[in-house]
Amino acid sequence: MNISLKILDNLRESYGIFISDKLKISDGDCGRGVFSSAVIEQSELLISVPIDALLTTRKAQHVVESHKSARQVLQNFSTCLNGTDLLVCALFLELENEENSKWSAFLSSIPNQLWNPFMLDEKELNLLTAKCRLPSKCFKQKIKISTEFLKALGFEINEEILNWCFSVVLSRSFGGSSERCETRNHFKIEIDNSANFCLCPAIDLINHEKEYNCEYRWNEDKTAFQVFSRKKILQGQELFVNYGTTKSEYEIYNFYGFVLPSDDFQVEFELQRIRKSIYDDKKIDFLTSQLDMVFAMEKLDSSDYFITSLKVSADLRRLANRVGQILEKEGYKIIYQILFERFIKNKSQNNNLASAENRVIEVFLDCKTSEKNNSEAIKTKSLISFSDLTRNS
């Protein structure tokens, strides 16, 4: 069976989650997401997750407490472990349980590779401006609490796995303080009296957009967390929710590790970081020649195309994403560098330096997010085909 269908079926079977037959998981412009496989009418119920299927902080605490010697260790940590730490530790412990975990279907529905800025090293973080750097620095400190707690329980800590658990909680949890969650997520969950902070299988597969076509609702009668369509959704369209209409782009970046392409986005912090990065000249020369070859194949002049593309950033983003994917890990940095240098060379032709610069950074950030999200998909992708790019331009 197709792996995406299997993910949805496992979630249905393991937790009694209702997931409309009109939904499927696919890769799109924002990485993996949920798409419609048939027309969806306005106000259709698309996903309904019963309360038992929510991994709340209270349940996370039970997971942690059920570990031998945990109670005593918990006493020593009682003043510093909060809901986030409990969820992080519970995920870590459930991963150790593998197939025996109640949450194995949920865990295997989450991508193996996640990325958040807190994973940047100290040197890189210090290159960001304070507004962007501080939350990630705090998250770096916060992980230390879970690390110490799990060590006290006798576990050897694999940093990569713990980072993954932390990233899951940052980018896939719902709720928060009841006052904030009403405005952020358009719902208010009162579970276990106070523990309105949880992970939610299935619903966490939906990506974020400012113009969203779906919304969350907490159904008090059914005690279920649900997703409804806000408008008609055509076959093949992606479902989007809004992770928080009052969230700043900095919050989105720090919690979810991506940035929405938008004209007014202040990305100077990334620019600062990249300008100070050190590049290997030979590598850039080699990759530049590869990029030129690609342009030549498509009979495009790269610098002209680049200047034009600044005005049609969606196309440029798509192009850079593809090239970034082919060049894998370092791809996005190199593309950024190449594009930026070409832009500087040609800047006399363009009188709006700041907005063009921002567009280039958008491209860079998109490549980065896409590279991280699609790392599995990338492996199977063959060489660049520009057919859809040219079709759309």
Ligand X SMILES: C[S@@+](CC[C@H](N)C(=O)[O-])C[C@H]1O[C@@H](n2cnc3c(N)ncnc32)[C@H](O)[C@@H]1O
Query: Per rule CB under 6 A, is residue 35 in the interface with ligand X?
Result: no
Q: Are 65 and 77 in contact (CB under 8 A)?
A: no
Closest to ligand X by CB, 67 or 368: 368
Query: Per rule CB under 6 A, is residue 215 in the interface with ligand X?
Result: no
Query: Per rule CB under 6 A, is residue 369 in the interface with ligand X?
Result: yes
Query: Per rule CB under 6 A, is residue 36 in the interface with ligand X?
Result: no
Closest to ligand X by CB, 154 or 236: 236
Closest to ligand X by CB, 291 or 365: 365
Minimal distance, residue 171 CB to ligand X, in Å: 4
Closest to ligand X by CB, 322 or 342: 322
Among 22, 32, 137, 247, binds ligand X (CB under 6 A): 32
Among 373, 374, 375, 389, binds ligand X (CB under 6 A): 373
Tokens of 23: 């939904």
Closest to ligand X by CB, 300 or 367: 367
DSSP labels, 281-343: HHHHHHHHHHHHHHHHHTT--HHHHHHHHTTSHHHHHHHHHHHHHHTGGGHHHHHHHHHHHHH
Stretch binding ligand X (CB under 6 A), from 153-161, 202-210, 274-282, 308-316: 202-210
Query: Per rule CB under 6 A, is residue 172 in the interface with ligand X?
Result: yes
Among 30, 95, 284, 314, binds ligand X (CB under 6 A): 30
b/e per residue 324-356 (b: at least 16 CB within 10 A)? bbbbeebbbbbbbbbbbebbeeeeeeeeeeeeb
Q: Are 112 and 376 in contact (CB under 8 A)?
A: yes
What residues contact residue 239 under an 8 Å CB cut-off, 6+ apart? 23, 33, 34, 35, 36, 46, 206, 207, 213, 214, 227, 229, 233
Closest to ligand X by CB, 9 or 298: 9
Q: Alpha-carbon distance 262 to 248, whole Å? A: 12
Minimal distance, residue 297 CB to ligand X, in Å: 28
Q: Alpha-carbon distance 174 to 49, whole Å? A: 13
Query: Per rule CB under 6 A, is residue 258 in the interface with ligand X?
Result: yes
Minimal distance, residue 209 CB to ligand X, in Å: 6
Query: Per rule CB under 6 A, is residue 256 in the interface with ligand X?
Result: yes
Closest to ligand X by CB, 83 or 257: 257
b/e per residue 39-65 (b: at least 16 CB within 10 A)? ebeeebebbbbbbebbbbbbbbbebbe
Q: Are 153 and 173 in contact (CB under 8 A)?
A: no
Query: Per rule CB under 6 A, is residue 33 in the interface with ligand X?
Result: yes
Nearest to 329 by CA among 371, 377, 384: 371
Minimal distance, residue 212 CB to ligand X, in Å: 10
Minimal distance, residue 367 CB to ligand X, in Å: 11
Query: Per rule CB under 6 A, is residue 145 in the interface with ligand X?
Result: no
Query: Per rule CB under 6 A, is residue 31 in the interface with ligand X?
Result: yes
Amino acid at 58: R
Question: What is residue 234's DSSP assignment?
Answer: -
Stretch binding ligand X (CB under 6 A), from 180-188, 206-214, 269-277, 311-319: 206-214
Minimal distance, residue 164 CB to ligand X, in Å: 12
Query: Per rule CB under 6 A, is residue 208 in the interface with ligand X?
Result: yes
Query: Per rule CB under 6 A, is residue 247 in the interface with ligand X?
Result: no
Query: Per rule CB under 6 A, is residue 244 in the interface with ligand X?
Result: no
Q: Alpha-carbon distance 393 to 205, whole Å? A: 30
Q: What are phi and psi of 236, to 5 degrees?
A: 90, -10
Among 111, 135, 324, 331, binds ligand X (CB under 6 A): 111
Minimal distance, residue 204 CB to ligand X, in Å: 4
Closest to ligand X by CB, 172 or 184: 172
Strand partners, 225: 49, 218
Q: Give the helix/strand (H/E) hosting 388.
A: helix 387-392
DSSP labels, 162-182: HHHHHHHHHHHEEE-SHHHHH
Among 53, 64, 74, 205, binds ligand X (CB under 6 A): 205
- The Cα-based distances of 315 to 116, 305, 319, 363, 386 in angstroms read 25, 10, 6, 10, 10
Judged by the rule CB under 6 A, the positions of this chain that interact with ligand X are: 30-33, 111, 171-172, 204-205, 207-209, 256-258, 260, 369, 373
